Amino acid sequence: MKTAAFAVLSVLTLGACASSPPAAIDPAATTFTGYVRFADGEFQLYERLAQVRMPFARPCVSGVLPRNAQEAAEGDLSGQKVTLTGRAVAWPADEVGLKHEGSTVRNLCGGDHVILARTVSVIR
């Protein structure tokens, strides 16, 4: 009986994760705040720290900083609460990657928009 209950719970949990839509952001915004994780040359911005710690967590918003800032931030800022300045751009359906000042965002979060950031600062 415990095995059947666990199997049902597992299916419900996986179904809830699979159906979660990507995070929605205001396309007119110029600042974006959340917890950041870096993967495959881009950042993913999350609402909660717990999401950063879970592999493949959703919802999130993908983005990049200019190349030098992106490389510096990757080593120091993962898991931190940050504010990014920049702009959101619509993700073209047929696109594989968008270039931004030497960086490429691939939209691993799968959202309708990505963030092309100029700066990042840690919130303490």
Each residue's pLDDT expressed in tens, for the chain with a length of 124 residues: 444 443 333 333 333 344 344 567 899 999 999 999 999 999 999 999 999 999 888 999 999 999 999 999 998 999 999 999 999 999 998 889 999 999 999 999 999 999 999 999 999 8
Domains of the chain with CATH codes: 21-122 (2.40.50)
Q: Are 104 and 65 in contact (CB under 8 A)?
A: no
